[in-house]
Amino acid sequence: MNIQQLKVVVELSKGKSLIEIGETLEITQPTVSFHIRKLEEELGTPLYKKEKRNLTLTKACHELVPYAKQILILMDEAKQKMARVQEIEQPRLRISASHTPATYYLPPFIQMFQRSQPELELNLTVNQARRSIQLLKEHQVDLAIVSLQNFTIEGINIHPLIEDKLLLTYSPTNRLASLAEVSMENLEKETFLLHEEGSTSRIVTNDWAKQSGLLMPNKMELASIETIKEGVKCDMGIGILPEKSIREELESGQLLAIPLPKYEYRRCICLAWRNEEHISPQINSFIWFAIENMK
């Protein structure tokens, strides 16, 4: 019996499907099935039955759930305790940032903060926004700085810092550059260079396409914002990119950009921290520094 198996059991008790459990825990559906099967083998009893499209928990699973929850709570408390011990022994701040803020906003700001707190060890990792929030919830990082549309997450404080616009971007040599107005029909014929699934920009893109009825029959998935930008420069296709990431290219005329047609949204770079009674001095210091300086 391991922690991941207990997490699966707790999610199973919430009435979720195996696919939904996988999405919550960020693992695949076969991995969810594997954890359940191994736990059933260890306990010698089934944990659920399939009835049409629904999963029905067995009596054994109902009995196990309270213990699983209690163990997970104790594990979380132990992590918090160890984190506080580390803070006492050596001041340290762990931040996870999504790609846009990490690349285009944070470097000068981090330098300013380090100058004001030279004794503090600061660790910065780069992850998708969803992963950064998950690491925050699991106490693996102290703060997250991510691009978000939804500013409400249970158990997390979120403070929007800077608006992070996404623009439809294309090369001056692309046929869209000759149009007085870009229509959805024009876009159907274009190849879209897209960020990976799960990234905030891809979520916005998918949402926009769904709302506007855009099919995007031709698309190519690329690994990073910079790779997409270079592909757009070479007219491999068009992209949906953060305004900050293409500001120099827009000013120099290397790229052209317009707001997403027929779509209204608000995306911001946000500072996120756990809603806890105890906040360490270094976390509190960074929160106020960011709110005052990242505008």
Give per-10-residue mean pLDDT for the chain (295 aa). Answer: 87 85 88 88 86 80 89 86 65 90 92 89 92 93 91 91 91 94 90 88 88 89 91 95 93 94 84 90 92 86
In the numeric block, the tokens 């698309």 are attached to: 219
CATH superfamily to which 166-259 belongs: Periplasmic binding protein-like II (3.40.190.10)
Q: What per-residue confidence (pLDDT) applies to 203?
A: 86
Distance CA 237, CA 32 (A): 38
Q: What per-residue confidence (pLDDT) applies to 86?
A: 60
- Per residue, the 3-state secondary structure of the chain, as one string, reads CCHHHHHHHHHHCCCCCHHHHHHHHCCCHHHHHHHHHHHHHHHCCCCEEEECCEEEECHHHHHHHHHHHHHHHHHHHHHHHHHHHHHHHCCEEEEEECHHHHHHHHHHHHHHHHHHCCCCEEEEEECCHHHHHHHHHCCCCCEEEEEECCCCECCEEEEEEEECCEEEEECCCCHHHHCCCCCHHHHHCCEEEECCCCCHHHHHHHHHHHHHCCCCCEEEECCCHHHHHHHHHCCCCEEEEEHHHHHHHHHHCCCEEEECCCCCCCCEEEEEEECCCCCCHHHHHHHHHHHHHCC
At the second CATH level, the architecture of 90-163+268-293 is: 3-Layer(aba) Sandwich (3.40)
Number of neighbouring beta carbons within 10 Å of residue 116: 10
**What stretch(es) of the chain map to CATH 3.40.190.10?**
90-163+268-293, 166-259
CATH class of the domain defined by 3-84: mainly alpha
Distance CA 159, CA 284 (A): 13
**What stretch(es) of the chain map to CATH 1.10.10.10?**
3-84
Q: What per-residue confidence (pLDDT) applies to 89?
A: 56
Q: Select from 104, 139, 160, 117 the least CA-distant residue to 284.
A: 117
Q: What is the pTM of this model?
A: 0.64
Q: What per-residue confidence (pLDDT) applies to 85?
A: 66
